[in-house]
């Protein structure tokens, strides 16, 4: 044996002796009464987390008889010298539960149960997004998996106070015996860990209310998010402040035959919007058509949702137009107001031309119902269904999204939901070719820039629920004061964010990883009959047909305007 090797062995032996001497301090404790000394029925391993075993007083003991049914605990090892044990027996020592344990190396002793915890496996992939607390659940919430790697855990919330509440899953773990636990949040706040048996899948309820199939989802529709991870693109500032009074169309309220144009003013885009057709704008009791809020184009058919002015119950109605036939009548009559003029002449009991009579057949007025504000109506091209947001509530208020029947022009279905996560439900809507829906808001939160744009993406699931998430990258500058509309062009796969006098767009395929060059913005200028600049007109809706042509809905008076270029 070499001298160096002998020296190494000697140092190792010395280290072991020193360690043993430190690990086994000799002192006697008081005598204890031992009850229930019995074998444990299993040999599960238990884990001592390092942070629980640093104090010198945490030890493994020998349990020795002191006579007259009394026992003494004598310190044998430091707890932090071990990580795993096999349970052998359990006993109450002066009323406290202790276990006799054996380490993988064969060391045995008695340890207080409070230093032990079942081995726990934590998962990175979650098996569920949301759960509902069972109405019969008696389990509470803890800061750690109770009885797991971190021991008993600290009570954070009483489960009985949250029966029926829907919680968001943020973590998942399994203790020995395949017992599942979930870490959850409620209303955006971390609630802690709870036994999986206390939870169930959220139950969607269905009722038929006024012939509308109404589904109510118990869980909030917006997924939890970490605002610290939210970023934004530093796009060029084309923000337009909404005027105190909006501009009106040239010569309005007079009926004119010629088109007018809202022109490009600045920005990367190069389009104007020119009149496609004037729609009726009467505010008479026979039809409140002047407050059009949103536009859907489905092939040859257009749908316009109108809000009835002066009501406090969010009443409105939908008008269906035969666009192809109306455009032909505009061309043949050389009158962009052929429909508006027909309505006016009929109301005033004047004689109608053949073109005007034909124009009236191109218009179907639906019944009045609760539409909400009306500016969030859109076609899902994947299902060919029209949806609209009927109520936009705050985070914990009930909102709803409704499916419109194209024949009756009334809703067939309604899904009630709560936005959650301290976010308000947006008031605009569009769908992409895959059936995903989008909505945007001008930011009001402190964790993102003022006047920035936040975008949400979601889906309407087959089980009649709504699920949504915040796109974790926004724009530093929204297009303007009011988030009037959002549109999707399937031809160029771009999303369009509409404010009064300003439109910005981004490629849908790059959401979350946008660069400054991906953002395209354009400001527009409105003019009067003398071609003088006026305050911007109100931009109510933007939609695209199958060819990718954009159509803008504006009011004062109501008209559909066609984009002169796809470059915007």
* Residues 453 and 475 sit within 8 Å (Cβ to Cβ): yes
* % of the chain beyond a pLDDT of 90: 65
Question: Residues 6 or more apart from 137 whose CB is under 8 A from it?
Answer: 159, 160, 163, 197, 198, 199
Tell me the three-class secondary structure of 268-313, residue by residue.
Answer: CCCCCEEEEEECCCCCCCCCCCCCEEEEEEECCEEEEEEECCCCCC
User: What predicted TM-score, i.e. pTM, was given to this entire model?
Assistant: 0.75
Q: How confident is the model at residue 10, as a pLDDT? A: 37
Lowest mean pLDDT among 188-192, 302-306, 379-383: 188-192
Better-scored residue on pLDDT, 160 or 22: 160
Query: Does 5 have pLDDT greater than 60?
Result: no
* Residues 280 and 289 sit within 8 Å (Cβ to Cβ): yes
With CA atoms as reference, report the closest residue to 130 among 394, 487, 563, 468: 468
pLDDT bin (cut points 50, 70, 90) of residue 284 is: low
Q: Which two tokens stand for residue 339?
A: 């429909």
Query: Does 464 have pLDDT greater than 50?
Result: yes
Q: How confident is the model at residue 8, as a pLDDT? A: 40
The enclosing H or E element of 91 equals strand 84-93
Q: Strands 231-233 and 539-544, how do they pair?
A: unpaired
- The domains located in the chain, with CATH, are 21-115 (2.30.30), 120-203 (2.30.30.170), 227-563 (2.115.10)
Q: What CA–CA distance (Å, rounded) separates 348 from 341? A: 10
Question: Residues 6 or more apart from 529 whose CB is under 8 A from it?
Answer: 250, 251
With CA atoms as reference, report the closest residue to 429 among 405, 407, 400, 465: 400
* % of the chain beyond a pLDDT of 70: 89
* Residues 88 and 40 sit within 8 Å (Cβ to Cβ): yes
Query: Does 112 have pLDDT greater than 70?
Result: yes
Is there a cis peptide before residue 253, judged by omega within 30 degrees of 0? yes
Query: Does 114 have pLDDT greater than 50?
Result: yes
The enclosing H or E element of 342 equals helix 338-347
Query: Does 336 have pLDDT greater than 60?
Result: yes
Q: What is the mean pLDDT of residues 401-423?
A: 96
Q: How confident is the model at residue 40, as a pLDDT? A: 61
Lowest mean pLDDT among 1-5, 168-172, 221-225, 269-273: 1-5
Q: What CA–CA distance (Å, rounded) separates 465 from 463? A: 6
Q: How confident is the model at residue 300, as a pLDDT? A: 97
Sign of CA dihedral 512, 516, 519, 523: positive
Lowest mean pLDDT among 25-29, 180-184, 215-219, 510-514: 25-29
Q: How confident is the model at residue 30, as a pLDDT? A: 62
Q: What is the mean pLDDT of residues 174-199?
A: 89
Q: What CA–CA distance (Å, rounded) separates 557 from 340? A: 10
| Length of the chain, in residues | 568
Q: Which two tokens stand for residue 54?
A: 């640093």
Average pLDDT taken over every residue of the chain: 88
Q: How confident is the model at residue 55, as a pLDDT? A: 46
Q: What is the mean pLDDT of residues 61-76?
A: 82
The dihedral formed by the CA atoms of 283, 284, 288 and 290, expressed in degrees to the nearest 10: -20
Query: Does 567 have pLDDT greater than 90?
Result: no
Query: Does 43 have pLDDT greater than 50?
Result: no
Q: What CA–CA distance (Å, rounded) separates 560 from 568? A: 18
Q: How confident is the model at residue 387, as a pLDDT? A: 99
- Tell me the pLDDT tens digit for each residue of 489-547: 999 999 999 999 999 999 999 999 999 999 999 999 999 999 999 999 999 999 999 99
- Tell me the pLDDT tens digit for each residue of 372-389: 999 999 999 999 999 999
């Amino acid at each position: 044996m070499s001298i160096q090797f002998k020296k190494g062995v000697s140092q190792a032996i010395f280290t072991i002796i020193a360690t043993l001497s430190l690990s086994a301090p000799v002192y006697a404790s008081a005598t204890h009464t031992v009850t229930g000394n019995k074998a444990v029925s299993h040999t599960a391993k238990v884990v001592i987390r390092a942070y629980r075993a640093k104090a010198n007083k945490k030890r493994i003991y020998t349990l020795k008889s002191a006579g007259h049914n009394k026992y003494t605990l004598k310190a044998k090892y430091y707890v932090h010298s071990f990580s795993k044990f096999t349970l052998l027996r359990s006993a109450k020592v002066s009323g406290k539960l202790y276990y006799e344990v054996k380490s993988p190396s064969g060391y045995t002793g008695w340890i207080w149960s409070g230093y032990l915890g079942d081995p726990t496996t934590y998962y990175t992939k979650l098996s569920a997004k949301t759960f509902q607390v069972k109405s019969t659940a008696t389990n509470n919430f803890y800061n750690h998996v109770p009885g797991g790697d971190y021991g008993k855990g600290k009570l954070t919330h009483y489960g009985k106070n949250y029966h029926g509440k829907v919680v968001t899953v943020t973590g998942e773990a399994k203790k020995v015996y395949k017992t599942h636990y979930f870490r959850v949040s409620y209303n955006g706040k971390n609630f802690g860990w709870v036994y999986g048996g206390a939870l169930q899948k959220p139950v969607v309820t269905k009722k038929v209310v006024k012939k509308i199939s109404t589904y109510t989802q118990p869980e909030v529709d917006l997924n939890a998010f970490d605002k610290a991870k939210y970023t934004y693109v530093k796009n060029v500032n084309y923000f337009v402040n909404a005027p105190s009074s909006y501009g009106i169309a040239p010569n309005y309220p007079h009926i004119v035959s010629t088109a007018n144009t809202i022109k490009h003013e600045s920005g990367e885009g190069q389009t104007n919007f020119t009149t496609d057709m004037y729609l009726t704008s009467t505010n008479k009791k026979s039809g409140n058509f002047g407050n059009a809020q949103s536009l859907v184009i489905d092939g040859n058919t257009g749908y316009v949702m109108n809000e009835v002015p002066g009501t406090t119950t969010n009443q409105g109605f939908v008008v269906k137009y035969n666009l192809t036939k109306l455009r032909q009548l505009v061309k043949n009559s050389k009158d962009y107001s052929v429909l508006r003029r027909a309505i006016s002449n009929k109301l005033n009991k004047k004689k109608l031309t053949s073109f005007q009579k034909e124009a009236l057949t191109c218009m179907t007025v639906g019944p009045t119902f609760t539409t909400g504000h009306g500016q969030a109506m859109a076609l899902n091209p994947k299902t060919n269904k029209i949806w609209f947001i009927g109520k936009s509530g705050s985070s914990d208020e009930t909102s709803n999204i409704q499916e419109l029947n194209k024949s009756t022009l009334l809703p067939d279905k309604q899904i009630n939901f709560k936005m959650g996560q301290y976010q308000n439900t947006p008031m605009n809507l569009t769908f992409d070719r895959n059936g995903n829906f989008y909505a945007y808001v001008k930011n009001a939160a402190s964790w993102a820039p003022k006047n920035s744009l936040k975008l949400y993406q979601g889906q309407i699931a087959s089980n009649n629920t709504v699920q949504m998430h915040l796109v974790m990258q926004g724009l530093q500058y929204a297009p303007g004061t009011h988030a009037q509309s959002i549109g999707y062009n399937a031809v160029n796969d771009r999303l369009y964010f509409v404010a009064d006098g300003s439109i910005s767009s981004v490629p849908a395929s790059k959401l979350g990883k946008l660069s400054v060059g991906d953002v395209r913005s354009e400001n527009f200028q409105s003019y009067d009959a003398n071609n003088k600049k006026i305050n911007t007109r109100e931009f109510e809706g933007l939609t695209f047909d199958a060819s990718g042509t954009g159509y803008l809905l504006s009011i004062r008076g109501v008209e559909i305007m066609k984009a002169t270029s796809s470059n915007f």
